[in-house]
Structure 1
């Protein structure tokens, strides 16, 4: 016990980090475990009855689930592309330029992040109804809503990356006779790209996961979170856990691939010098 206590004292930060990771990833592990549960119509999601591959072999068995998943992925991808593009441009404008109304713009960009979702969702619903779209709520109104709240998160993420960027690197490129376009694509963009990628992943996650704003502005359109909520009123199909596990694996693979590429690039630059 004394040796254990001494080890924990010397490695306190490592111990706390491991505990935090365990706390964060245990729910994901439970979801992965329940994706192999034989009870496809159990109301209790945490009752494991028997092991089976059927949930993975027939992920679209619950009627309407894959259609709802397709809607969520489509909205997530479109909102991510638009929000990342607009948010990145806005971040560059806020960091690199001084203009009238800059402080007001900063405040307005932070408001969607600070506003409760129920307030934002009901406000958007009132806006759509006032604009004459009350009877046409669906895919496009959800997309507009998701783009709106995703922009703020993109701006904050990309802006933090830009703020830590060493401007001397761009000045060095200019000194080596690179024009503004070449400097941007060969120096600025590669350095900012990790922040843009992180913002895009965050935007897609927020869009795919959103329920409150989506539910208020969806009309008859059903997204994956709405399908899960509706299914929970009766019996949650275990295939929901399959989708959750796949999304987690894909996200983890993207992060690992990005880290591997970053390390290879760093080793390549070190070898070049």
Structure 2
């Protein structure tokens, strides 16, 4: 019975990974296709990568998407960390229920409503739409995801480490940057990567908040699909997959280092208690 369950689990795991990653593998495979038809193999070639770097529209859209995603992720981590810290450490201030509701609302709010409300706001204040309005729109919902991730990490945080640091003479601000921040660094990295992904492939909010000449890569791809997918898009997608893979590896390394720092801090706290 145990062997049968193991076989079933292995089969389910294999099917799940194949379902998730087989389309990506096919996309990467056909990015090296000689033929212009994206689903007909015509031989190995790198010409679509060359064509990609000659396509100024796609490169501009990709650059706008990357800049937008980086700015959104960075701002979301800053605001989300503050919000998560408040929800985890200050549990009885007046208006906390309202504050928590405003943080959680973007998680369940349809993006069409969020995008439309932002569009009406920008029109009402006569703010020209562009990169700035897109950053505001993306940050408005990405911050909520970071806040939830940071709050969950702080709830399980061993505060005796902070108390030990303060007993040794550290100020609250120094304790936060020296003790708390390194310990919750994996949560910050996870929140940054999550925000980056959500911003990079967002279409609905972007379509409401962008302006002329500020089309992102997802908008370009959705427009191109109506006339047929160009092979250059496969090449660009492969490059972006490589960038994301590098980011995941870097995040894993940072998380491992943060774990080592946390264990060191816990040993120091234990030593101070003795």
TM-score, length-scaled by structure 1: 0.86
Partner residue in 2 for 1:27: 23
Query: 8 Å contact 1:86–1:151 — kept in the other structure?
Result: yes
Which digits, 9 at most, give the CA deviation of each residue in 1:96-152, with x for residues without a partner? 11321111111111111111112221221122112223xx22222212111111111
Is the CA contact (8 Å cut-off) linking 2:186 and 2:255 kept in structure 1?
no
Residue 232 (structure 2) pairs with residue 243 (structure 1) = no
Partner of 1:201: 193
Of 88, 91, 106, which residue of structure 2 is paired with 1:95? 88
- Aligned with residue 62 of structure 1, among 55, 62, 65: 55
Residue in structure 1 matched with residue 271 of structure 2 by the alignment: none
Q: What is the Cα-based RMSD across aligned positions, in Å?
A: 2.5
Aligned mates of 1:244, 1:183 — CA distance in 2: 42
1:116 aligns with 2:77: no
Which residue number corresponds to residue 34 of structure 2? 38
Deviations 1:204-256 (A, max 9, x none): 11111111111122121211111111111223222212222222222222222
- Judging changes above 3 Å, is the alpha-carbon distance between structure 1 residues 91 and 228 closer, same or farther for their aligned structure 2 residues? same
Q: In structure 1, how many angstroms separate the alpha carbons of the residues matched to 2:107 and 2:48? A: 37
- 1:1-273 matched pairs, under 5 angstroms: 7-10=3-6, 13=9, 15-40=11-36, 42=37, 45-97=38-90, 98-133=92-127, 136-220=128-212, 221-263=214-256
SS of the aligned residue for 1:64 comes to helix
d(CA) in 1 for partners of 2:226, 2:140: 30
Once residues 118 and 258 of structure 2 are traced to their aligned partners in structure 1, the CA distance between those partners, rounded to angstroms, is: 44
Larger RCO, structures 1/2 (Cα 8 Å, 6+ apart):
1
Query: How many residue pairs end up in the alignment?
Result: 263
- Measured in 2, the distance between the counterparts of 1:155 and 1:267 equals 24
Match of 2:270 in 1: none
Shift of 1:14: 5.3
Query: Kindly tell me: are residues 103 and 198 of structure 1, through their superposed partners in 2, closer, same or farther at Cα, counting changes over 3 Å?
Result: same
| Whole-angstrom CA distance in 2 between matches of 1:11 and 1:47 | 35
How far apart, CA to CA, are the structure 1 residues paired with 2:129 and 2:258? 46
The separation in 1 between residues aligned to 2:233 and 2:53, in whole angstroms, is 9
Distance in structure 1 (CA, Å) of the matches to 2:167 and 2:13:
44
Unpaired stretches in structure 2, ≥5 consecutive residues = 268-274
The answer to whether the 8 A contact 2:76-2:146 is kept is: yes
